[in-house]
Amino acid sequence: MKLVIFGPPSAGKGTQAQKLSKKYGIPQVATGDLLREHVAKKTPIGIKVKSYLDSGRLGPDDLIVQMIGERVSKPDCINGYLLDGFPRTIGQAQELEKMTDIDLVLNIVVDFEALVERAVGRRICPKCAAVYHVKFNVPQAQGICDKCGSKLIQRDDDKEETVRRRLNVYKEQTAPLVEHYRKKGRLVDIDGSSGIDAVFAQMVKAIDGIKK
């Protein structure tokens, strides 16, 4: 079973992908994690894409496709996989179709302004990695981690200018993919405004529907 999960930044793709991976026993192939791994190891791909990532842009199609192709050819992907963050452009989708057939695309739909609020208000503990929010998950002492007492920080990725730029990139380059897969009859919209468990239940229902 080969799945793709779509959704704008901060829509909860990663969380849902992890849950789906565990339930169905298929690896989560997360583009962001793969890119960070390549950058950290200073591989040829990592060196080339670093400047793109630093400015919040997508990497070139040929490099991303090469990286994904290498990953899904590994033995743990023989029974399927869940692509998180790929494809992001029509060009990438066309290359993916040359490699394999996708069974289902799960498209998380969330209001963009709600995503901005969710991301911009996020605060992270640099020591223990606990996550808070200035509105939805407030620490007991303002700006201080409940668990270890460290001062909370806002990641550069969560600053409003960066968040809006990433959302605009998503809208311009990735949204056309929704129509691409909708026309193929492979796409299901998922209401991402509800809680984690409710979103997951929608996805499981859609996946189990195609397995029958």
- pLDDT, one tens digit per residue, over 114-125 is 999 989 999 999
Identify the active-site residue in 71, 118, 122, 123: 122
pLDDT band at 26 (very low <50, low <70, confident <90, very high): very high
Q: Residue 212 above 80 pLDDT?
A: no
Active-site choice (13, 71, 118, 123): 13
Residue type, 111: D
Interacting residues of 146 by C-beta distance below 8 A, sequence separation 6+ = 130, 139, 140
Confidence of residue 88 (pLDDT cuts 50, 70, 90): confident
**Cα–Cα distances in Å, from 167 out to 6, 56, 170, 171, 208?**
13, 10, 5, 6, 30
- The active-site residue out of 2, 71, 88, 123 is 88
pLDDT in tens, 132-162: 999 989 999 999 999 999 999 999 989 999 9
Confidence check: pLDDT of 174 > 90: no
Catalytic residue check, 42? no
Q: What pTM value is reported for the model?
A: 0.79
Residues contacting residue 190 through CB under 8 Å, at least 6 positions apart: 7, 106, 107, 108, 109, 199, 202, 203, 206
Residue among 155, 171, 184, 205 flagged as catalytic = 155
CA distances (Å), 181 to each of 47, 106, 151, 193, in order?
32, 10, 44, 22
Which pLDDT score is estimated for 169? 85
Which residue, 63, 65, 71, is CA-closest to 46?
Answer: 63
* 186 catalytic residue (yes or no): no
Distance CA 115, CA 110 (A): 7
- pLDDT given at position 194: 84
pLDDT of residue 200 exceeding 90: yes
Task: Compute the mean pLDDT over every residue in the chain, rounded to the nearest whole number.
Answer: 91
- The one catalytic residue among 71, 118, 123, 166: 166
**SS3 call for 55:** coil
Q: Does domain 2-110+161-211 have CATH number 3.40.50.720?
A: no
For residue 175, the model assigns a pLDDT of 82
Judge whether 135 and 146 are in contact, CB under 8 Å: no
- Each residue of 28-74: pLDDT tens digit? 998 888 988 988 999 998 888 888 877 777 678 888 999 999 999 99
Amino acid identity of residue 148, one-letter, is C
> Which residue did the predictor score with more confidence, 10 or 58?
10
Instruction: Tell me whether residue 122 is one of the annotated catalytic residues.
Output: yes
CA angle 102, 105, 109 (to 5 degrees): 165
pLDDT bracket for residue 25 (50, 70, 90): very high
Q: Say what the pLDDT of residue 49 is.
A: 85
Catalytic: 88? yes
